[in-house]
Structure 1
Amino acid sequence: MRDLADTTRWAAIASIAWALALGGCDGPSETATATAGAESATMAVSGAGSSFAAPMFNHWFKTYAAAHPDLSLSYDSVGSGAGIDRFLDGSVDIGATDAPIGADEAEQVGGDFAQLPITGGMIAITYNLPELDGPLNLPRDVYPAIFLGDIYRWDDPRIAAANPGINLPSKLIQVVGRRDSSGTTFAFTNHLAAVSEAWAAAPGVGKKIDWPGGAMEANGNEGVAQRLKITPNAIGYVEAGFAQRLGLPLAWLENRTGGFVQPNVDTGRRGLADGADTPPDDLTRTIPDPQGSRSYPIVTYVWALVRADYGTPEKTQTVNDLLRWILTDGQTDAESLFYVPLPANLAQAALAELDALKP
């Protein structure tokens, strides 16, 4: 007979599973929208894209709309790829992406635009091993091999060697990846390709990839995190805050200097600094394998795609003012949501690029 703790745990898992079933088993619907200030609004501004940054955008829009009751703000957490598509076709005012757009996509914008870094964060490798006592160390030659399917058991000697004294289960590893076009996937695979020649050869880098082996798939950071929550012996990658909020453990990853580092705001900040004292000059530069002995190795900026002209001077100024607030006062609460606020000089560089946009 199960004891009370087992009964409670399985009831919670069943509850989450039922919620996923109602939502198509992929987490929140892609049409779910966070809206603030709609009741008395006279102007609407819409955003869509990155699920990685959705909690941050929802917080920003709620806070800003509270001080601007004449403004309606909405954000759809649909993934970076869909957010870019919506920005390109003009169906949203602001696109949010964890993967900066390239020249081919830029040509489709149809007018001057900018892609501005607005926050930073960490991609965590998280897992569901309820009986594991203590954090899991994953060397940089091991976690790419897990996602390639070359390491497929939790008690593999290469995992065990990095975790002495930990009783690893004799179970198959279930990989969980993203189904949708995702900037989180781009940043994650960009890192894997930087540290693994095998990964660079195939599947490579992209917002959407063909996952090796029998990987499970889900939409959005929300869907992957929830899938991991209900799947014993699973492993996957999500924005670190999603894992933290669901109580999922965060693996300590080996960085390029050989140290095992946990994801937190301090190690994420060091990773985004990439061993330098000043932020990058290129506002769209990615950091696939950061330098620095205390740097967390999988980090990314989130970029906002913003147009120079929104049809009327009033709408253009409204969007400009919103982005200006995000780049200044809006950075204040990033740490409390497990994101990394922009360094002041990088925020200033983004503001300068915003100011340079002319309708």
Structure 2
Amino acid sequence: MLQKWSKMSLSMILAAVLAFMVSACGNSNGGSPNSSGAQKTEPAQTQPAQTEAAQKPAEKQFTLTAAGSTFVYPLFSKMFAEYNKLHPNVQVNYQSIGSGGGIKQLTAGTVDFAASDAFMKDEDIAKIKNGVIHIPVTVGAVAVIYNIDGVEKGLKLTQDTLAGIYLGKITKWNDPKLTADNPDVKLPDLAITPVFRSDGSGTTSIFTDYLSTVNAEWKDKVGKGTSVQFPVGIGGKGNEGVAGQVKQTPGAIGYAELAYADKNKIAYAQLRNKDGKFVYPSLEAASLAAASAAANMPEDTRVSIVEKPGEKSYGIVGFTWALLNTQYDDADKKQAVIDLLKWVYRDGQQYSEDLLYAKIPEAIAKINDKNMEKIK
């Protein structure tokens, strides 16, 4: 009986071992035999592959601070918004406080770059610890705006009558000198109120540069600059301030960037140019001035372009310069500033004409490229 039981136990043990071996063999290959009798194999387990976005490091975020010209503000607003769409990690906080204010902040080292419609003098450049270069970013015309009831267009001004108004020598709109130039316009017996910029202004620099160029008395008594002592009139802060004063003051006359005049639907005058033609401020006139400047642009780009010859030329035209340091302590921020400004004076120029600014000619853009290389 014991011998029989031993034989049966041994048979059972062998069967169990065989079953286990078959099962283990099948499980180790992870599946059933295929049609050829070979066992399927599963790939070794690995960590899930990371996506390209997960592998790419997050872009560093930048908020660049800048300040200055109100003249260029409509264009900069558009450009910086479009740049942010292309580069979401870069935002520009631009304060439209006037060219003089921008230069002060650059000198104090509180902004990453400034903008000015007046180029800096040597003595002012010397005050900037980290140096400065001038990068022309646009060209625009300064409109002579006015508020005369019933005269929405057609007013003509010569170089001398405009200077005479701001010198306080012509005080009524029906002055014989004005009526002589405007035989087809009924000018009223209305006092003239000149309006000027109360803040340090590149637009004032362009305007007074023009008056100094065309009128000897103005040059001797008042001169040119971002801030001058105007003999008569009232002040307004920024292009928008001057435009606002003119719009609300009957008989007022002022000067503002063409885009402000156009946007606010304020009448602006025709000026007699160097060739004796009366012309309105325009994109074409600004483009002609830019092309003229490009032919003789100095390396430092500091040049006046008022009162250039040509039948279609308009006298009160100027550059806006971005003012960049030649040295930045933060290498990453330096590169962000360089990339932004290169885009502004190249690809960003596509937004100029719709806002009545002239594009920077290629010859000037190439000078900008060389000057940007000076930034360390």
Bucket of the pairwise TM-score, normalised by the shorter protein:
0.7 to 0.9
Partner in structure 1 of residue 18 of structure 2: none
Is contact 1:327-1:351 (8 Å) kept?
Answer: no
Looking at structure 2, the residues matched to 240 and 248 of structure 1 have their Cα atoms a distance apart, in angstroms, of 10
TM-score (norm 2): 0.81
Partner in structure 2 of residue 235 of structure 1: 253
Shift of the 133–354 alpha-carbon distance from structure 1 to 2, 3 Å rule, reads: closer
Partner in structure 1 of residue 329 of structure 2: 311
Is contact 1:221-1:242 (8 Å) kept?
Answer: yes
Counterpart among 22, 43, 65 of residue 84 in structure 2: 65
1:18-51 Cα offsets, whole Å, 9 max, x none, are xxxxxxxxxxxxxxxxxxxxxx982211110001
Please list, as runs of the form range in 1=range in 2, the aligned pairs for 1:212-291 lying within 5 A after superposition.
212-213=231-232, 215-274=233-292, 278=295, 280-282=297-299, 283-291=301-309
Partner in structure 2 of residue 20 of structure 1: none
Counterpart among 39, 45, 50 of residue 64 in structure 2: 45
2:81 aligns to what SS in structure 1? helix
1:141 aligns to what SS in structure 2? helix
Please list, as runs of the form range in 1=range in 2, the aligned pairs for 1:97-246 lying within 5 A after superposition.
97-132=116-151, 134-213=153-232, 215-246=233-264
Looking at structure 1, the residues matched to 154 and 94 of structure 2 have their Cα atoms a distance apart, in angstroms, of 35
- Residue-pair matches, total: 317
2:137 aligns to what SS in structure 1? strand
Moved over 4 A (4+): none
Please list, as runs of the form range in 1=range in 2, the aligned pairs for 1:271-350 lying within 5 A after superposition.
271-274=289-292, 278=295, 280-282=297-299, 283-350=301-368
C-alpha displacement of 1:70:
1.4
Looking at structure 2, the residues matched to 294 and 277 of structure 1 have their Cα atoms a distance apart, in angstroms, of 18
Shift of the 255–85 alpha-carbon distance from structure 1 to 2, 3 Å rule, reads: same
Shift of the 41–242 alpha-carbon distance from structure 1 to 2, 3 Å rule, reads: farther
Identity among equivalent pairs (%) = 34
Is contact 1:271-1:291 (8 Å) kept?
Answer: no
Looking at structure 2, the residues matched to 354 and 260 of structure 1 have their Cα atoms a distance apart, in angstroms, of 39
C-alpha displacement of 1:352:
1.6
Is contact 1:117-1:302 (8 Å) kept?
Answer: yes
Moved more, 300-309 or 130-139: 130-139
Over alpha carbons, which structure has the higher Rg? 2
**For structure 1, which runs of at least 5 residues remain unmatched after alignment?**
1-39
Is contact 1:272-1:290 (8 Å) kept?
Answer: no
- Letter in structure 2 aligned against 1:218: G
Shift of the 186–95 alpha-carbon distance from structure 1 to 2, 3 Å rule, reads: same
2:373 aligns to what SS in structure 1? helix
Is contact 1:47-1:75 (8 Å) kept?
Answer: yes
CA RMSD of aligned residues (A): 1.5
